[in-house]
Amino acid sequence: MEALEICSFKKLQEEATTIRLFDKSIWVNMNHGLFMNCRTKEAQTIIRLYPLIRTAVGPGGVVFAKRKHRKADLCRIRKFKAKVLL
């Protein structure tokens, strides 16, 4: 995994269709910085979720940002197709 640069709130807001957190929950982008948990229907802002994000997926199931562990930066990576789509 080759890191390109740190992924910002704005990039996530604009590009991510879904994000996966370290607790393995999946959140869907509802636009305007809000993400909704697929199972609980809870909504949170990207600012609250950002420290917990492990993987960000864009349109077509393309992974564009990852974090190896909780204390690492969320970095943009070379895009690749995710194995599982929603």
Question: 53 Cβ partners below 8 Å, 6+ apart?
Answer: 12, 19, 20, 21, 65, 67, 74
Q: For the segment 20-64, what is each residue's pLDDT rounded down to a tens digit?
A: 999 999 999 998 889 999 999 999 999 999 999 999 999 988 899
Q: For the segment 53-62, what is each residue's pLDDT rounded down to a tens digit?
A: 999 999 988 8
Domain assignments of the chain as residue spans, ordered by start = 3-81
Q: What is the pTM assigned to this prediction?
A: 0.84
CA distances from 77 to 6, 10, 19, 41, 66 (A): 9, 16, 15, 29, 7
